[in-house]
C-alpha cells in the first residue's frame, strides 16, 4: 500500500470504458471493474485522510459496478476521473502527468455530452471546485457538493434530502458512544468500545454454503491479548475476486487498526459485533473515521441508503452550519440556558461528548416546540382581532327556564366552565374554546346552555358528532329538553330520508329551525343556515381538518365550542390545541359511584359469567365488548359475531343477547340499541361502536374481551358506559396476555378512575398518537421532541412564545423569527392546522 497507482493507466481505463458505453469491458487479465477495484486497493501515500477514505470507498463502489445502472456507471466513472485529477494536482511531481490526465478526462467528458439530454453533463475540475464545502451555500443542491456528487445526491433524495440545509437539519435518531478506548483484556459484553491493535492474520472468503455471503476475518492483538473479528457482506457483488483481494491488501498482516463496536460473547469468546475498522499509520495515529473512536450518529434510513453515506454527506456539509443565522433572540437563549443554533447543529450530528449532545438536543427540541407554539399563539391573536362575530346574550329567559327544568344541580366545575363560555360569547371576537371532561361529567348540559345563549340572541346553533350513534344520542337528549322549551331541533345524518332532508334544508334557510344536530352530513353543500351563531363540535379530533373548515364556513365567524370526553394530558393539549382556550370539567356530578374494575384471565371467566347472571337476576343489563367484528385469521382474538353466537347459544341461552357493530345499517343499530334501552335485551355484544353515545343507566357490567388490545383511554371510555345509574357497577377486563407491559397497563385501570391520570399514563406507555384513538389526529410531526420526555422543554417553549407574542405579536421587529416561523410551522404541521 506504499506505492502510488499508475495514474495514466487508470485514466485511460476510465476513458475507454466511457467510449464503449460503460459496458464493463473485458481486458487481457481483468474486467474493467476488477482492474479499477484492484487499482483503488493500492492507497497512495501522498493523500489526506479524507481523500484516503474516499479512495478506499472507490474500491467498494467499483466492486458493485456490474450491478449498477447505466446512469450510475456514468456517474461513478466521471466521479473517479475527477477525483484522480484532484489528487494529481495536489501531489508533488504531478505536473508531468496532469496533461495526459486532463486529455483523457476531456475525451471522457465529450463522450458524456453525446448521451441523451437526461444524463447530467460532467463538470470540469474548476467547476467542481466551486462546490466544495468552503463555498457551500445553505440552499445549494446536494448533488452539486463535490464530496457528495450526483450519484450520492440521488440516494439522499430517498430521504427527502435535497439541499445543504435539509441535511444539516436531518437529525440523528440516536448516538452510539465508541469514544471509550480499551485493551482487549478489558472487554466486557454489552459495552460499546474502541480498541487499537495489530493485525495478526486476515482472510476474506465467500462461504461454501451460501455464495451470497462473504466474510472478512481478522485476528487482532495488543499487549494484553488477542481477538477475532468478523464482518459480513451479503450480496453477489461481494464475491467479486478483485473486491476481496483489495480488502485483504487493505488489512495486511502487521497493519495497525482501530475497531469499534458492541462487545458480544459467542462460542469462541468475546468479539465485536460487525465492527467498524480503520487502518492507522501507527498506534498513536489520529483516528479519522466517522464511525470509530467517537460518538457516532445513527440516522433514520431507508432501503438502499447506507449509514456511512449519510454520515459522510453530513460531514461534507457541516462547515456550512457557520452560515446559519440564529433567529432566536439572545435574551430568550440566555433566559432559558440554550446554546446557539450553530453549536446545536454541529453537536447534534458529531458531539464532542455527551454533555454537548444533550445541550444540542435541548436547544433543537426547544425550537420544535417553540415555533409550533408561536404559530398557535399568533393564530389565536389574529382570531382575537376579528371583531365581527355575533354578540350573544349571557343571560335570558331560555337559560333560566332550562336551569329550572334540570332535575339536578350543576356542579361547581360545570358552572365555572359555563361562565368561561358566556364571557366569550358576549364579545365580538369569535370564541374558540375546548371543553374537556371525563366520561359522565356533564359536558352536554354545558353545550346546551351555550346553544340557548345563541338562540335567545336570534341566532342558530349546530352540533356535529363523529358517528350516527352519538349524533342520535345527542338529539334524543336535546329533544327532551327543547320540547319543554318549545324550541325546534332536528337530526341530519346520512340515513335521513330525502323528503325530511329537504324539509330541514328549507327550515334552516328561513331561520325557523333553531338547532341542527348531525354527523358530517351537516357540511354538505345544500345545508345553508339563515344565521349561524354557534358551532359545537363533539370529539373534534375524529373529524378531518377540511370537514371542520366546511362546517365553520356555513356562518360568518361563528363562535366555536369543541368538546371531548377523551381527557388529554396538558402537554398533548398544548401541541394539539395550542391556539384554543381550554376549560376542564374536573368534577363528576354527585351520586356517581366509582366503578369496580378488575383484570381477569381466561381461567377466571366463569367468575365473570357468574357475576353477569347475578346482575341480570337483579334486573340489570350487561355490555360485552370485543375488538373485532369477525374472526381474524392472523390474530387469536374473540370476534363479536362468534362471541354473540357462543353467549346466546351456550352460556346464556336463558337471556336475550343482542349484537351491535359498525357494519350494520343505521336502522339495524337503532333497533338493537332501542331493544337494549327498553331492557328487551339483557346482554349486548358489541365492538367499540358502543364507546360513545349509548346511555343506558340500567347497565351495570362492562366486560371487555382482549382488553390488552385497547388503549387505556379507550378502555376508560368503555368503562364510562356503566355506572350511570344508582346501582354499583363493574368493569371486567378480560386478558390472556402475560406480558409485563399488558399487566402494567391494565393495573392503571384497576387503580384509578381519573381520566386525566389515565390519559397521562396512556401517553407514557403507548405514545401520544395513540391516546386519541387515531394516528390522524393533527399531531405535529417532531423530529427530536418527545411529549413524554420533554415536558419541561415544552413548557418553557410555550412561556417563551407567549412573551414574544406579548411584546411583538406580528414579529415586525423580529423578521428572522417570522421567516423561520413561516418555514417551520408549515413544515411541522403540513399546513393543516385548523381548529
Closest CA to 562 of 455, 476, 436: 436
> What is the Cα gyration radius of the chain?
35
Q: Do 148 and 186 belong to one domain? A: no
Same domain? 553 vs 661: no
- Same structural domain, 484 and 404: yes
Structural domain including 407 reads: 397-426+441-564
CATH number at residue 241: 2.40.50.140
In the predicted model, what is the mean pLDDT of residues 724-733? Answer: 90
> 54: closest CA among 313, 321, 238, 231?
313
Give the residue, 218 or 7, on which the prediction is more confident: 218
pLDDT, average across residues 646-652: 92
The total number of structural domains that make up the chain: 5
Residues 307 and 291 in one domain: no
Q: What is the pLDDT of residues 456-512, one digit of tens each?
A: 999 999 998 888 878 888 898 899 899 999 999 999 988 888 899 999 999 999 999
Q: What is the number of other CB atoms lying within 10 angstroms of the CB of residue 654?
A: 8
Residue 115: pLDDT over 50: no
Q: Are residues 611 and 687 in the same domain?
A: yes
In a domain, 528, yes or no: yes
Q: Is residue 809 part of a domain?
A: no
- Whether the per-residue pLDDT at 1 is higher than 50: the answer is no
pLDDT at 729: 94
For residues 107 and 670, the model is more confident at 670
pLDDT tens track for 798-818: 999 999 998 888 888 999 999
Residue 629 confidence (pLDDT): 63
- Residue 835: pLDDT band (50, 70, 90) is very low
- Residue 194 parent element (H or E): strand 192-206
The CATH number that applies at residue 624 is 3.40.50.300
Calpha distance 528→540 (Å, rounded): 21
Helix axes 712-719, 740-751, angle to 10 degrees: 40
pLDDT tier, 599 (very low <50, low <70, confident <90, very high otherwise): very high
Instruction: For 55-102, write each residue's pLDDT tens digit.
Output: 877 887 888 888 787 767 777 887 888 788 777 766 534 333 334 333
Q: Are residues 415 and 478 in the same domain?
A: yes
At 760-775, the pLDDT tens digits run: 888 777 666 555 544 4
- Domain check: are 610 and 686 in the same one? yes
Kindly state whether residues 140 and 190 are assigned to the same domain.
Answer: no
pLDDT at 521 over 90: no
The overall average pLDDT reported for the chain is: 81
Q: In the prediction, which pLDDT does 260 show?
A: 83
Which of 5-19, 285-299, 781-795 is least confident? 285-299
- In a domain? residue 644: yes
- 3-state SS of 39-103 is HHCCCCCCCCHHHHHHHHHHHHHHHCHHHCCHHHHHHHHHHHHHHHHHHHHHCCCCHHHHHHHHH
| Per-residue pLDDT band at 112 (split at 50, 70, 90) | very low
pLDDT at 556 exceeding the cut of 80: no
pLDDT band at 127, cuts 50/70/90? very low
The pLDDT value recorded for residue 736 is 83
105 and 140 co-located in one domain? no
Percentage of the chain modeled with pLDDT above 90: 29
Say what the pLDDT of residue 419 is: 94
Q: How confident is the model at residue 409 (pLDDT cuts 50, 70, 90)?
A: confident
Compute the distance between CA of residue 201 and CA of residue 219 in angstroms, rounded to an integer. 5
In a domain, 455, yes or no: yes
Name the more confident of 702 and 787.
702
Whether residue 422 is found in the same domain as residue 551: yes
Mean pLDDT along residues 543-568:
70
Position 791 in a domain = no
Task: Provide the pLDDT for residue 588.
Answer: 74
Which segments of 586-628 are extended strands (E)?
596-600, 621-625
88 and 144 assigned to the same domain: no
pLDDT of 647 over the 80 cut: yes
In terms of domains, do 137 and 198 share one? no
Amino acid at each position: 500500500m506504499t506505492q502510488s497507482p499508475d495514474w495514466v493507466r487508470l485514466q485511460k481505463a476510465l476513458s475507454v470504458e466511457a467510449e464503449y458505453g460503460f459496458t464493463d469491458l473485458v481486458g487481457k487479465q481483468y474486467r474493467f471493474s476488477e482492474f479499477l477495484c484492484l487499482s483503488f486497493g493500492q492507497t497512495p501515500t501522498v493523500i489526506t485522510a479524507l481523500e484516503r477514505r474516499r479512495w478506499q470507498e472507490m474500491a467498494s463502489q467499483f466492486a458493485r459496478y456490474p450491478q449498477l445502472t447505466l446512469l450510475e456507471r456514468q456517474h461513478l466513472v466521471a466521479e473517479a476521473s475527477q477525483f484522480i485529477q484532484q489528487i494529481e494536482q495536489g501531489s508533488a511531481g504531478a505536473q508531468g502527468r496532469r496533461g495526459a490526465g486532463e486529455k483523457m478526462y476531456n475525451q471522457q467528458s465529450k463522450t458524456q455530452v453525446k448521451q441523451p439530454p437526461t444524463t447530467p453533463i460532467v463538470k470540469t475540475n474548476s467547476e467542481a471546485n466551486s462546490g466544495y464545502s468552503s463555498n457551500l451555500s445553505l440552499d445549494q443542491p446536494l448533488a452539486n457538493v463535490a464530496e457528495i456528487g450526483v450519484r450520492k445526491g440521488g440516494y439522499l433524495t430517498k430521504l427527502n434530502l435535497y439541499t445543504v440545509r435539509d441535511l444539516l437539519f436531518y437529525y440523528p435518531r440516536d448516538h452510539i458512544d465508541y469514544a471509550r478506548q480499551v485493551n482487549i483484556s478489558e472487554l466486557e459484553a454489552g459495552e460499546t468500545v474502541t480498541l487499537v491493535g495489530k493485525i495478526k492474520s486476515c482472510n476474506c472468503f465467500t462461504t461454501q454454503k451460501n455464495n451470497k455471503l462473504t466474510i472478512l476475518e481478522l485476528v487482532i492483538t495488543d499487549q494484553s491479548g488477542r481477538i477475532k473479528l468478523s464482518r459480513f457482506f451479503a450480496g453477489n457483488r461481494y464475491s467479486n475476486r478483485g473486491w476481496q483481494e483489495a480488502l485483504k491488501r487493505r488489512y495486511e498482516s502487521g497493519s495497525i487498526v482501530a475497531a469499534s463496536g458492541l462487545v458480544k460473547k459467542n462460542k469462541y469468546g468475546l468479539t465485536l459485533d460487525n465492527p467498524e475498522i480503520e487502518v492507522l499509520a501507527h498506534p498513536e495515529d489520529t483516528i479519522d473515521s466517522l464511525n470509530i473512536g467517537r460518538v457516532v450518529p445513527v440516522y433514520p434510513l431507508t432501503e438502499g441508503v447506507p449509514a456511512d453515506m449519510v454520515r459522510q454527506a453530513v460531514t461534507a456539509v457541516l462547515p456550512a452550519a457557520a452560515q446559519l443565522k440564529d433567529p432566536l433572540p439572545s435574551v430568550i437563549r440566555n433566559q432559558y440556558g440554550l446554546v446557539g443554533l450553530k453549536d446545536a447543529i454541529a453537536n447534534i450530528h458529531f458531539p464532542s461528548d455527551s454533555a454537548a449532545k444533550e445541550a444540542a438536543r435541548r436547544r433543537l427540541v426547544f425550537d420544535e416546540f417553540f415555533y409550533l407554539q408561536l404559530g398557535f399563539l399568533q393564530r389565536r391573536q389574529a382570531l382575537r382581532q376579528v371583531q365581527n362575530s355575533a354578540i350573544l346574550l349571557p343571560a335570558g329567559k331560555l337559560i333560566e327556564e332550562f336551569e329550572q327544568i334540570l332535575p339536578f344541580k350543576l356542579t361547581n366545575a360545570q358552572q365555572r366552565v359555563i361562565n368561561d363560555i358566556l364571557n366569550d360569547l358576549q364579545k365580538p371576537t369569535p370564541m374558540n374554546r375546548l371543553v374537556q371532561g371525563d366520561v359522565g361529567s356533564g359536558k352536554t348540559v354545558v353545550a346546551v346552555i351555550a346553544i340557548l345563549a345563541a338562540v335567545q340572541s336570534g341566532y342558530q346553533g349546530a352540533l356535529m358528532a363523529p358517528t350516527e350513534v352519538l349524533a342520535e344520542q345527542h338529539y334524543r337528549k336535546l329533544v327532551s329538553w327543547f320540547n319543554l322549551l318549545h324550541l325546534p331541533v332536528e337530526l341530519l345524518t346520512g340515513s335521513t330520508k330525502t323528503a325530511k332532508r329537504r324539509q330541514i334544508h328549507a327550515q334552516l334557510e328561513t331561520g325557523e329551525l333553531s338547532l341542527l344536530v348531525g354527523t358530517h352530513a351537516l357540511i354538505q353543500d345544500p345545508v345553508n343556515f339563515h344565521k349561524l351563531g354557534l358551532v359545537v363540535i363533539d370529539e373534534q379530533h375524529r373529524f378531518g381538518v377540511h370537514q371542520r373548515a366546511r362546517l365553520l364556513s356555513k356562518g360568518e365567524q361563528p363562535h366555536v365550542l369543541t368538546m371531548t370526553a377523551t381527557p388529554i394530558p396538558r402537554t398533548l393539549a398544548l401541541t394539539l390545541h395550542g391556539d384554543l382556550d381550554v376549560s376542564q370539567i374536573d368534577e363528576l356530578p354527585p351520586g356517581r359511584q366509582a366503578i369496580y374494575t378488575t383484570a381477569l384471565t381466561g381461567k377466571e371467566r366463569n367468575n365473570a359469567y357468574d357475576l353477569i347472571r347475578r346482575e341480570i337476576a337483579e334486573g340489570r343489563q350487561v355490555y360485552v365488548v370485543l375488538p373485532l367484528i369477525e374472526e381474524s385469521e392472523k390474530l387469536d382474538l374473540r370476534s363479536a359475531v362468534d362471541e354473540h353466537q357462543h353467549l346466546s347459544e351456550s352460556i346464556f341461552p336463558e337471556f336475550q343477547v343482542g349484537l351491535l357493530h359498525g357494519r350494520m345499517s343505521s336502522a339495524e343499530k337503532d333497533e338493537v340499541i332501542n331493544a337494549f334501552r327498553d331492557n328487551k335485551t339483557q346482554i349486548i355484544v358489541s365492538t367499540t361502536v358502543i364507546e360513545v353515545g349509548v346511555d343506558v343507566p340500567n347497565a351495570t357490567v362492562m366486560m371487555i374481551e382482549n382488553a390488552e388490545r385497547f388503549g387505556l383511554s379507550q378502555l376508560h371510555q368503555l368503562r364510562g358506559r356503566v355506572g350511570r345509574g344508582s346501582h354499583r357497577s363493574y368493569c371486567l377486563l378480560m386478558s390472556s396476555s402475560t406480558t409485563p407491559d399488558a399487566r402494567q397497563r391494565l393495573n392503571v385501570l384497576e387503580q384509578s378512575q381519573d381520566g386525566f391520570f389515565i390519559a397521562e399514563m396512556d401517553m407514557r406507555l403507548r405514545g401520544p398518537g395513540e391516546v386519541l384513538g387515531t394516528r390522524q389526529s393533527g399531531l405535529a410531526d417532531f423530529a427530536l421532541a418527545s411529549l413524554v420526555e420533554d415536558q419541561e422543554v415544552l413548557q418553557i417553549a410555550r412561556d417563551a412564545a407567549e412573551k414574544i407574542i406579548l411584546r411583538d405579536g406580528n414579529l415586525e421587529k423580529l423578521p428572522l423569527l417570522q421567516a423561520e416561523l413561516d418555514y417551520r410551522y408549515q413544515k411541522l404541521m403540513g399546513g393543516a392546522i385548523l381548529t
